[in-house]
Amino acid sequence: MTHYAMVIDLNTCVGCNACMAACAMENQTPVWDKNKWRTYVHDKEIGLGSDVQRRFFPRLCNHCDNPPCMTVCPTGATQKKANGIVFVDQDLCMGCGACAMACPYHARVPVTRRDMREGREFYGSDYRRSSPSMDKCSFCDHLVEQGRKPACVETCVGSSRMFGDLDDPNDPVAQMVASGAARALMPHIGTRPNVYYIDDIRWRG
């Protein structure tokens, strides 16, 4: 059984934001509102005085094995595939926002009718969305089904983002996770996320 996961190496993320752009164009997200991107790279300055480092931290839906956004969804719009991808059925979603309240990773965002109007202007006749809903990263499941990788992974210039199958012992992603080099965010919450991070060692000592 396939179990998709992503590993993000914080050492090689250069903060170019190409992943954000690729995701937005692939999934037609509301780029006019920075709070509504499916993936976002946080740019933070860390340190004191002259010893300050910039740190880029990409975030996205963690496609949890125990997703609280799915648990609280009253309409069943948030679903999980057998391959581990958590997705939203836009037609079922009534947009109550409970998923956004439940998500510890700030990965659920509202796409409103106003966003759809803007979307039709911005993306033109190719705009696909037919109803407003709570939106989220889908690991570009439409690309994955074609044997490709998510748009953010395909476009990542530093190979910071890696996508693979946790159930395949020969997959580098599975190996990085199994070795403990890549770790999940906030595992104590019990969400069992499938996005792992390799810590940046630049300012560790």
Partner 1 sequence: MDVNMTYATQDMWTWWLAIYLYFGGLGAATLAVTFLTDMYLKPNRALVIWGAGAGVVLLALGSLMLFGHLLDKTAVLTILNPMAMLDQSTAWIAWGTQFIIWMMVWGVLYALPYVRETEFPRKVPGIRDLIDKPFVIGTAKLVQSFHRSVGWLAVINGVGVAVYTGLLLQSFPAVALWHNPAVPLLFTVSAFSTAMAFLLVLMYTLLHDQADEHVRVLYERIDLVLIAAELVILFSLYQYLKNGSESGVRSMELLWNDYGWLIGFIGFGLIVPFLLELKGVMRGWASRVPILTAAVLVLAGGYLLRHYFMYAGVYAYPW
Binding site for partner 1 (CB under 8 A): 10, 42, 44, 46, 55, 57, 59, 68, 71-77, 91-98, 100-106, 110-113, 131-134, 183, 185-186, 189-191, 197, 199
| Token code pair at residue 78 | 């948030």
Q: How far is the CB of 130 from partner 1 (least distance, A)?
A: 10
Q: How far is the CB of 91 from partner 1 (least distance, A)?
A: 7
Distance in angstroms (rounded) separating the CA atoms of residues 199 and 184: 11
Closer residue to partner 1, CB minimum distance, 74 or 172: 74
How far apart, in Å, are the Cα atoms of 64 and each of 21, 25, 61, 78, 122? 24, 24, 8, 12, 32
Q: How far is the CB of 16 from partner 1 (least distance, A)?
A: 17
The amino acid sitting at 197 is Y
Instruction: Tell me the DSSP string of 154-184.
Output: HH-TT--EEEEETT-TTSHHHHHHHHTSEEE
Closer residue to partner 1, CB minimum distance, 69 or 143: 69
Q: How far is the CB of 185 from partner 1 (least distance, A)?
A: 5
